[in-house]
Structure 1
Amino acid sequence: MTVTQAEDSDEVAIVLTGRSPDDVAAFYRSALPTAGYQITDDDTVGVGVQVVGLKFTGNGYDGELAVATTPSRSASRTAEAPLAGGPPRW
Structure 2
Amino acid sequence: MRRLVSSLGLAAVLLAGCETGPVDPERAAQVCERRAQGAQGPTGAVTLGASSDEGPFGAVQIGVSGDYLAGRDPLAVYEDCVIQRTGAPPIRPPRLRS
Mark yes or no: TM-score above 0.5: no
Higher relative helix content: 2
Higher relative strand content: 1
TM-score range with shorter-chain normalisation?
Answer: under 0.3
**TM-score of the two chains, using structure 1 as the length reference:** 0.28
**TM-score of the two chains, using structure 2 as the length reference:** 0.26
Higher CA-based Rg: 2
